[in-house]
Amino acid sequence: MKPFVIALDGPSAAGKGTLARRLAAHYGLAHLDTGSLYRAVGRRILREGHDPADATYAATVAQNLQPVDLQDPELRTEATSKASSIVAAIPAVRANLLAWQREFARHPPEGKHGAVLDGRDIGTVICPDADVKLFVTASLEARAGRRFRELQAAGANPIRRAVLEEMASRDRRDSERATAPLLPAPDAFVLDTSELDADTVFDRVVAFIDSKTRSRRA
Ligand code: CDP
Protein backbone atom coordinates (compact mmCIF):
# COMPACT_ATOMS: atom_id res chain seq x y z
CA MET A 1 0.00 0.00 0.00
CA LYS A 2 1.21 3.51 -0.79
CA PRO A 3 2.31 5.26 2.44
CA PHE A 4 0.37 8.26 3.71
CA VAL A 5 2.68 11.29 3.48
CA ILE A 6 2.30 14.71 5.10
CA ALA A 7 4.61 17.42 3.74
CA LEU A 8 5.08 20.27 6.20
CA ASP A 9 7.02 23.34 5.07
CA GLY A 10 7.63 26.82 6.39
CA PRO A 11 10.24 29.29 7.60
CA SER A 12 12.29 29.06 10.76
CA ALA A 13 10.44 28.97 14.10
CA ALA A 14 6.98 28.98 12.51
CA GLY A 15 6.10 25.96 14.66
CA LYS A 16 6.85 23.13 12.22
CA GLY A 17 8.81 20.94 14.65
CA THR A 18 6.16 20.82 17.38
CA LEU A 19 3.37 20.37 14.86
CA ALA A 20 5.22 17.61 12.98
CA ARG A 21 5.86 15.62 16.18
CA ARG A 22 2.25 15.93 17.28
CA LEU A 23 0.87 14.95 13.85
CA ALA A 24 3.19 11.94 13.74
CA ALA A 25 2.01 10.79 17.18
CA HIS A 26 -1.67 11.44 16.38
CA TYR A 27 -1.72 9.55 13.06
CA GLY A 28 0.90 6.91 13.98
CA LEU A 29 3.39 8.12 11.37
CA ALA A 30 7.18 8.27 11.26
CA HIS A 31 8.72 11.76 11.47
CA LEU A 32 11.71 13.19 9.64
CA ASP A 33 13.04 16.63 10.57
CA THR A 34 14.82 17.33 7.27
CA GLY A 35 16.40 20.51 8.69
CA SER A 36 18.53 18.30 10.91
CA LEU A 37 20.23 16.89 7.79
CA TYR A 38 21.32 20.36 6.62
CA ARG A 39 22.28 21.22 10.19
CA ALA A 40 24.40 18.07 10.44
CA VAL A 41 26.22 18.96 7.21
CA GLY A 42 26.82 22.55 8.36
CA ARG A 43 27.93 21.49 11.82
CA ARG A 44 30.40 18.87 10.59
CA ILE A 45 31.98 21.42 8.23
CA LEU A 46 32.39 23.91 11.10
CA ARG A 47 33.79 21.20 13.35
CA GLU A 48 36.33 20.25 10.70
CA GLY A 49 37.34 23.90 10.32
CA HIS A 50 36.13 24.30 6.72
CA ASP A 51 34.10 27.02 5.04
CA PRO A 52 30.36 26.13 4.67
CA ALA A 53 30.36 28.01 1.33
CA ASP A 54 32.92 25.59 -0.16
CA ALA A 55 30.53 23.73 -2.49
CA THR A 56 32.80 20.79 -3.30
CA TYR A 57 33.60 20.06 0.33
CA ALA A 58 29.98 20.52 1.45
CA ALA A 59 28.73 18.14 -1.25
CA THR A 60 31.19 15.47 -0.07
CA VAL A 61 30.08 15.86 3.55
CA ALA A 62 26.41 15.58 2.48
CA GLN A 63 27.20 12.41 0.57
CA ASN A 64 28.98 10.84 3.53
CA LEU A 65 26.69 11.97 6.33
CA GLN A 66 26.72 9.47 9.23
CA PRO A 67 24.02 8.79 11.86
CA VAL A 68 26.43 10.09 14.52
CA ASP A 69 26.46 13.52 12.77
CA LEU A 70 22.75 13.80 13.60
CA GLN A 71 23.53 13.37 17.30
CA ASP A 72 25.92 16.34 17.52
CA PRO A 73 25.02 18.37 20.65
CA GLU A 74 25.61 21.63 18.77
CA LEU A 75 23.11 20.91 16.01
CA ARG A 76 20.76 23.69 17.14
CA THR A 77 23.18 26.51 17.95
CA GLU A 78 22.96 29.81 16.05
CA ALA A 79 26.32 29.16 14.36
CA THR A 80 25.02 25.84 13.05
CA SER A 81 21.74 27.47 11.92
CA LYS A 82 23.67 29.93 9.80
CA ALA A 83 25.99 27.28 8.35
CA SER A 84 23.02 25.02 7.56
CA SER A 85 21.32 27.65 5.42
CA ILE A 86 24.60 28.35 3.58
CA VAL A 87 25.12 24.67 2.69
CA ALA A 88 21.39 24.34 1.87
CA ALA A 89 21.80 26.79 -1.01
CA ILE A 90 24.38 24.52 -2.70
CA PRO A 91 22.58 22.40 -5.36
CA ALA A 92 24.94 19.39 -4.99
CA VAL A 93 24.26 19.27 -1.23
CA ARG A 94 20.51 19.17 -1.85
CA ALA A 95 20.93 16.56 -4.59
CA ASN A 96 22.98 14.34 -2.26
CA LEU A 97 20.32 14.47 0.47
CA LEU A 98 17.33 13.99 -1.82
CA ALA A 99 17.26 10.22 -2.36
CA TRP A 100 17.54 9.49 1.34
CA GLN A 101 14.57 11.77 2.17
CA ARG A 102 12.41 10.23 -0.59
CA GLU A 103 13.30 6.75 0.59
CA PHE A 104 12.17 7.68 4.12
CA ALA A 105 8.80 8.81 2.72
CA ARG A 106 8.41 5.74 0.48
CA HIS A 107 9.45 3.21 3.11
CA PRO A 108 8.86 4.76 6.54
CA PRO A 109 10.85 3.03 9.31
CA GLU A 110 9.47 0.71 12.00
CA GLY A 111 6.67 -0.53 9.76
CA LYS A 112 4.77 2.78 10.01
CA HIS A 113 2.07 3.29 7.36
CA GLY A 114 3.28 6.78 6.48
CA ALA A 115 5.46 9.73 7.39
CA VAL A 116 5.51 13.42 8.22
CA LEU A 117 8.48 15.26 6.72
CA ASP A 118 9.09 18.83 7.76
CA GLY A 119 11.37 21.29 6.00
CA ARG A 120 11.40 23.91 3.27
CA ASP A 121 10.91 22.00 0.00
CA ILE A 122 8.99 18.87 0.96
CA GLY A 123 5.74 19.72 -0.85
CA THR A 124 7.53 21.27 -3.84
CA VAL A 125 10.55 19.00 -4.48
CA ILE A 126 10.96 16.01 -2.15
CA CYS A 127 7.36 14.72 -2.06
CA PRO A 128 5.36 16.60 -4.71
CA ASP A 129 2.77 13.78 -4.56
CA ALA A 130 2.27 14.02 -0.78
CA ASP A 131 -1.30 13.27 0.39
CA VAL A 132 -1.36 16.44 2.50
CA LYS A 133 0.72 19.59 2.03
CA LEU A 134 0.92 22.17 4.80
CA PHE A 135 2.74 25.48 4.88
CA VAL A 136 2.97 27.10 8.30
CA THR A 137 4.29 30.60 8.57
CA ALA A 138 4.32 33.58 10.96
CA SER A 139 5.59 37.16 11.02
CA LEU A 140 9.33 37.66 11.44
CA GLU A 141 8.72 39.35 14.81
CA ALA A 142 6.62 36.47 16.15
CA ARG A 143 9.16 33.87 14.98
CA ALA A 144 12.17 35.77 16.31
CA GLY A 145 10.38 36.18 19.67
CA ARG A 146 9.81 32.42 19.85
CA ARG A 147 13.44 31.64 18.98
CA PHE A 148 14.63 34.21 21.56
CA ARG A 149 12.59 32.50 24.30
CA GLU A 150 13.76 29.06 23.15
CA LEU A 151 17.41 30.14 23.40
CA GLN A 152 16.80 31.64 26.84
CA ALA A 153 15.11 28.47 28.03
CA ALA A 154 18.13 26.49 26.80
CA GLY A 155 20.34 28.54 29.11
CA ALA A 156 21.85 30.88 26.48
CA ASN A 157 21.99 34.65 26.85
CA PRO A 158 20.64 35.84 23.48
CA ILE A 159 20.39 39.42 22.22
CA ARG A 160 16.87 40.03 20.89
CA ARG A 161 17.94 42.28 17.98
CA ALA A 162 20.68 39.85 16.89
CA VAL A 163 18.25 36.90 16.90
CA LEU A 164 15.84 38.87 14.69
CA GLU A 165 18.55 39.97 12.26
CA GLU A 166 20.04 36.50 11.97
CA MET A 167 16.59 35.07 11.29
CA ALA A 168 15.87 37.72 8.64
CA SER A 169 19.08 36.94 6.81
CA ARG A 170 18.40 33.17 6.99
CA ASP A 171 14.87 33.83 5.62
CA ARG A 172 16.44 35.73 2.75
CA ARG A 173 18.97 33.00 1.97
CA ASP A 174 16.28 30.29 2.12
CA SER A 175 13.76 32.23 -0.01
CA GLU A 176 16.09 33.72 -2.61
CA ARG A 177 18.24 30.71 -3.45
CA ALA A 178 17.84 29.34 -6.98
CA THR A 179 17.47 25.67 -5.99
CA ALA A 180 14.38 24.60 -4.03
CA PRO A 181 13.64 27.98 -2.43
CA LEU A 182 11.26 28.22 0.52
CA LEU A 183 7.86 28.43 -1.16
CA PRO A 184 4.36 27.10 -0.50
CA ALA A 185 3.31 24.41 -3.01
CA PRO A 186 0.36 25.71 -5.07
CA ASP A 187 -1.87 23.09 -3.43
CA ALA A 188 -0.67 23.63 0.16
CA PHE A 189 -2.92 24.53 3.10
CA VAL A 190 -1.32 27.77 4.37
CA LEU A 191 -1.63 28.69 8.04
CA ASP A 192 -0.28 31.88 9.64
CA THR A 193 0.54 31.02 13.26
CA SER A 194 1.58 34.53 14.42
CA GLU A 195 -1.44 34.81 16.70
CA LEU A 196 -2.09 31.12 17.36
CA ASP A 197 -0.87 28.84 20.13
CA ALA A 198 0.41 25.31 19.43
CA ASP A 199 -2.88 23.61 20.44
CA THR A 200 -4.96 25.79 18.10
CA VAL A 201 -2.54 25.17 15.21
CA PHE A 202 -2.72 21.43 15.84
CA ASP A 203 -6.55 21.40 16.03
CA ARG A 204 -6.93 23.39 12.80
CA VAL A 205 -4.50 21.21 10.90
CA VAL A 206 -6.09 17.96 12.13
CA ALA A 207 -9.53 19.31 11.11
CA PHE A 208 -8.13 20.10 7.66
CA ILE A 209 -6.45 16.69 7.24
CA ASP A 210 -9.52 14.79 8.44
CA SER A 211 -11.86 16.68 6.12
CA LYS A 212 -9.50 16.11 3.22
CA THR A 213 -9.10 12.39 3.81
CA ARG A 214 -12.87 12.02 4.46
CA SER A 215 -13.76 13.73 1.18
CA ARG A 216 -11.23 11.48 -0.62
CA ARG A 217 -12.78 8.35 0.88
CA ALA A 218 -16.35 9.48 0.06
O1 CDP B 1 14.64 24.86 13.17
P2 CDP B 1 14.53 25.87 12.07
O3 CDP B 1 13.14 25.95 11.51
O4 CDP B 1 15.10 27.18 12.41
O5 CDP B 1 15.47 25.33 10.89
P6 CDP B 1 15.58 23.89 10.31
O7 CDP B 1 14.25 23.38 9.83
O8 CDP B 1 16.33 23.01 11.27
O9 CDP B 1 16.48 24.14 8.99
C10 CDP B 1 17.78 24.67 9.06
C11 CDP B 1 18.14 25.17 7.66
O12 CDP B 1 18.20 24.05 6.78
C13 CDP B 1 17.15 26.12 7.03
O14 CDP B 1 17.41 27.48 7.33
C15 CDP B 1 17.29 25.84 5.54
O16 CDP B 1 18.34 26.61 4.98
C17 CDP B 1 17.73 24.39 5.48
N18 CDP B 1 16.66 23.48 5.08
C19 CDP B 1 16.39 23.37 3.72
O20 CDP B 1 16.98 24.08 2.93
N21 CDP B 1 15.49 22.46 3.28
C22 CDP B 1 14.82 21.68 4.14
N23 CDP B 1 13.95 20.79 3.67
C24 CDP B 1 15.05 21.80 5.53
C25 CDP B 1 15.97 22.74 5.97
Q: Is residue 126 part of a domain?
A: yes
- 80 pLDDT band, cuts 50/70/90, is very high
Q: Let me know the angle formed at the C-alpha of 76 by 74 and 77, rounded to the nearest 5 degrees.
A: 70
Query: At residue 215, does pLDDT exceed 80?
Result: no
State how far the Cα of 30 lies from the Cα of 106, in Å rounded to an integer. 11
Q: Ligand 1 center to residue 145 CA distance, Å?
A: 18
Our answer on whether the CB atom of 193 is closer than 6 Å to any ligand 1 atom is no
pTM beyond cutoff 0.85:
yes
- 145 pLDDT band, cuts 50/70/90, is very high
Q: Ligand 1 center to residue 85 CA distance, Å?
A: 7
Q: Which residues pair with 4 in a beta bridge?
A: 114
Look at residue 124 in the predicted model and tell me its pLDDT. 97
Q: Is residue 209 part of a domain?
A: no
Q: Is residue 97 part of a domain?
A: yes
Please give the tally of structural domains in the chain.
1
DSSP run (H or E) holding 205: helix 198-217
Q: Is residue 68 part of a domain?
A: yes
Distances (CA, A) of 13 to 18, 170, 179, 191: 10, 11, 22, 14
CATH number at residue 68: 3.40.50.300
Q: Which atom of ligand 1 is nearest to the CA of 9?
A: 23
Find the length of the chain. Answer: 218
Look at residue 156 in the predicted model and tell me its pLDDT. 86
pLDDT tens readout for residues 152-194: 998 889 999 999 999 999 999 999 999 999 999 999 999 999 9
Our answer on whether the CB atom of 147 is closer than 6 Å to any ligand 1 atom is no
Q: Ligand 1 center to residue 35 CA distance, Å?
A: 4
Our answer on whether the CB atom of 177 is closer than 6 Å to any ligand 1 atom is no
Q: Is residue 167 part of a domain?
A: yes
- 217 pLDDT band, cuts 50/70/90, is low
Distances (CA, A) of 109 to 32, 113, 190: 10, 9, 28
Q: Is residue 207 part of a domain?
A: no
Q: Residue of the nearest CA to atom 13 in ligand 1?
A: 85
Q: Which domain holds residue 103?
A: 4-200
Q: Is residue 46 part of a domain?
A: yes
Our answer on whether the CB atom of 166 is closer than 6 Å to any ligand 1 atom is no
Look at residue 218 in the predicted model and tell me its pLDDT. 64
State how far the Cα of 211 lies from the Cα of 35, in Å rounded to an integer. 29
Q: Residue of the nearest CA to atom 23 in ligand 1?
A: 119
Q: Is residue 161 part of a domain?
A: yes
